[in-house]
Structure 1
């Protein structure tokens, strides 16, 4: 009988796409929704596997908050010395899971907003079946619009039972390339959820990730900080998945959003009759499709005649942006 799967949750750090709030909170503990993202992700997977099978990987700066979690044993929390993207986070975790090589592993980012969970579990079960045949299987989402802030999967093959080969992974394409892909069709959003055996994933690291041997030797010598200082910060997709020949994608049918940016948070949250999102301490007049947020519930906010405007107020910084410029926020901050 197949044993219950393991789950590795990639606990995101402080995203520039959520500046300035990200100066104070990581994505794990945002409080826009009924449950904080990390708790919601744990709850989603505890329905299919025991809590003892759920592992977290995060920056060690999050240690005190993560150790307060009642659901997860401290031994199941892997703390990185610094954030070096998902290729390092996943390999670091794989090398800590050496006693679980025979178990299927589900890798999931923390910043996935999922509705229609019954459909999610059905699609995930399909991915588990594919993974048992020795593949790395991901879940691809049928796109409803194009965004330069998301990654895409170009599917190939006939797609029997909704399972496709992968022609290409495209990570956050330019506007021009993205529109061309979108027009051509046969693309899916990359959910960042992967399913496979740890041994299969590590085998692909060994083939394609240039830092694999250095990283593994450094960890064996307990030189974790050195390993993280030296390696390049690549995503798992770019370091391994884009090069692997063992990739399959399940075309998923559940509702999904990556809430690692203000635009997506706005799309998810409840709105008034004019399409605005605002706190109880804000008064809006003749505003439409705008987002008002403040960390100070005692501060009175008055907004007049706004349209497609985002205003985020924190103790030290304020973000004021038109909705159509939000995707430029990260690059603007990197140059500032």
Structure 2
């Protein structure tokens, strides 16, 4: 029986959901609509139905997220499969080809189910039924499959798929791809009935998609193949060769292959889907009340209509009074207030913030690391106070600083602390001082998270004032 290999594309750094989604920690890792992140929901959905031949997921991501991906998958009980690290983003075509070439060496008869990590598909059972229909089309005709979403409105933010006949529940031959339309064109396509939204989710046999790249995008074959063949294993990750990858064209799979291939079919899907591409989409997915008021977190909304109001901190109460057609998203370090009809323009705010040098443009106040995370609580001219969370069994690097000393106070769990030649255990409500220049490390030897408060003092407090001597995560 043919094995389906889920391939999850997880390298995006979306700006349209700022301030919650930022380059340092984009929307696929955020619990946007529930307890799970979008990546976690995607991975659970891509496991397939029970007893079906689905393999562990293959994930393509970048250097910044290489530890976040397996951590989030492990949290929901999914054993991470291969994680391929792209040296730099090159769009979807090279990523899909790299996954295909990688899987071809493992299982030449494999089928790839490719999906972005940041979409919402609420009905997993209906999704599996659509995949099963696609698998039948692959077995019968050897088609390259994509999934088209039945439109429920004249949407101008999506590309469309023009079908060769009125869509049914089975796979239908594709006539052509259609770029994002203006409103008048979108309205006519909705009335026509033979147009579907382009979901960016694909299903095809490994050998068929490799053949398609050879025929329609031959220039990609050599550099991507070299990047895979010369990849280096690193702590369970597979790092694609950077030199070969630098020669790869930045191009989407639609432009590189799909718009040129003549064996494309579309499986219609009408059970709910969103690419969560704007805050207005989040409003729709947050189950607004009869006044179209959608709230999340510590929010009180009074006499409002058609609003989305979110508080992303349990210590931050947001009150909306008499608002109409407004988006308000409050983070500890940034607040977005926007007109609902400007939901697609949030990325302009990010561009403006980057131009003025505001760190909020790309970085969250919580900084995620392979061992856990930290956040800055107070920053002064010559001091900084942080909260540091270390996962069970994790350890920071053995390091020293030129410009600062540190004082650690353990508030949860137990820390194993190294200072020069001395090691000691520091329990809750105990503290330890790290002199300037001392070689030191903190570890969590326990089975529960360890949390400490760090007070830094010195002339320079930047994260680049770190000299690493040893690091279990192979950071330079």
Give the aligned length.
335
Which of the pair has more CA radius of gyration? 2
User: What CA deviation, in whole Å up to 9, does each residue of 1:35-87 have, x standing for no partner?
Assistant: 22222122222243467432111122111112323245555111212222211
User: What is the alpha-carbon distance in structure 2 between the residues aligned to residue 19 and residue 172 of structure 1?
Assistant: 23
Name the structure 2 match of 1:304: 321
Counterparts in 2 of 1:242 and 1:330: CA distance versus 1, 3 Å: farther
Alignment of 1:1-336 (within 5 A): 2-23=1-22, 24-34=24-34, 35-48=36-49, 49=52, 52-68=55-71, 69-70=73-74, 71-73=77-79, 76-98=82-104, 99-132=106-139, 133-157=141-165, 162-175=170-183, 177-209=185-217, 210-222=219-231, 224-330=241-347, 333=350
1:138 shift after superposition: 1.4
User: What is the alpha-carbon distance in structure 2 between the residues aligned to residue 200 and residue 279 of structure 1?
Assistant: 45
Higher relative contact order (CA 8 A, sep 6+): 1
User: What secondary structure is seen at the aligned counterpart in 1 of 2:134?
Assistant: helix
Structure with greater strand share of residues = 2
1:144 shift after superposition: 0.3
Conserved in 1, the CA contact under 8 Å of 2:161 and 2:178? yes
Conserved in 1, the CA contact under 8 Å of 2:56 and 2:80? no
User: What is the alpha-carbon distance in structure 1 between the residues aligned to residue 349 and residue 245 of structure 2?
Assistant: 26
Name the structure 1 match of 2:433: none
- Unpaired runs of 5+ residues, structure 2, are 232-239, 356-476
User: What CA deviation, in whole Å up to 9, does each residue of 1:269-308 have, x standing for no partner?
Assistant: 1334422122342222211111112332212222221111
Counterparts in 2 of 1:156 and 1:332: CA distance versus 1, 3 Å: farther
User: What secondary structure is seen at the aligned counterpart in 2 of 1:211?
Assistant: helix
Conserved in 1, the CA contact under 8 Å of 2:5 and 2:57? yes
User: What is the alpha-carbon distance in structure 2 between the residues aligned to residue 330 and residue 47 of structure 1?
Assistant: 34
User: What is the alpha-carbon distance in structure 2 between the residues aligned to residue 19 and residue 27 of structure 1?
Assistant: 9
User: What secondary structure is seen at the aligned counterpart in 1 of 2:172?
Assistant: strand
Conserved in 1, the CA contact under 8 Å of 2:214 and 2:221? yes
User: What secondary structure is seen at the aligned counterpart in 2 of 1:320?
Assistant: strand
**RMSD after superposition:** 2.5
Deviates more, 1:291-300 or 1:129-138: 291-300
Conserved in 2, the CA contact under 8 Å of 1:104 and 1:196? yes
Conserved in 2, the CA contact under 8 Å of 1:12 and 1:111? no
Conserved in 2, the CA contact under 8 Å of 1:282 and 1:302? yes
Conserved in 2, the CA contact under 8 Å of 1:51 and 1:72? no
- Unpaired runs of 5+ residues, structure 1, are none
User: What secondary structure is seen at the aligned counterpart in 2 of 1:188?
Assistant: strand
Conserved in 2, the CA contact under 8 Å of 1:123 and 1:253? no
User: What is the alpha-carbon distance in structure 1 between the residues aligned to residue 120 and residue 315 of structure 2?
Assistant: 29
User: What secondary structure is seen at the aligned counterpart in 2 of 1:39?
Assistant: helix
Conserved in 2, the CA contact under 8 Å of 1:274 and 1:287? yes
TM-score, normalising length: structure 1: 0.89
Conserved in 1, the CA contact under 8 Å of 2:286 and 2:295? no
1:102 shift after superposition: 0.3
1:129 shift after superposition: 0.7
User: What secondary structure is seen at the aligned counterpart in 2 of 1:255?
Assistant: coil
Counterparts in 2 of 1:179 and 1:228: CA distance versus 1, 3 Å: farther
